[in-house]
Amino acid sequence: MSGVIASDARAESQLREDVCRLAASLFDRGLTQGASGNVSVRLPDGGLLVTPTGRSLGRLDPGRLARLGADGQLVSGDAPTKEVPLHAAFYQTRGTAGAVVHLHSAHAVAWSTLPEVDPENALPAITPYAVMLLGRVKLLPFFVPGDPLTGEAIRGLGGRRSAVLLANHGPVVASRDLEAAVNAMEELEATARLALLTRGHHPRLLSEGEVARVVKRFDVEWDG
Q: Which positions are annotated as active-site residues?
A: 83, 129
Give 38: exposed, middle or buried? Use CB within 10 Å, 0-12, 13-18, 19+: buried
Question: To 10 degrees, what angle do helices 2-28 and 178-198 make?
Answer: 20
In whole angstroms, how far apart are CA 168 and each of 56, 85, 115, 165, 171? 20, 18, 12, 9, 10
Contact 99, 178 (CB under 8 A): yes
Contact 172, 100 (CB under 8 A): yes
| Calpha distance 222→21 (Å, rounded) | 31
Question: To 10 degrees, what angle do helices 84-93 and 148-155 make?
Answer: 20
Nearest alpha-carbon partner for 41 in 96, 100, 91, 85? 100
Counting Cα atoms < 13 Å in the Cβ hemisphere of 209 gives 0
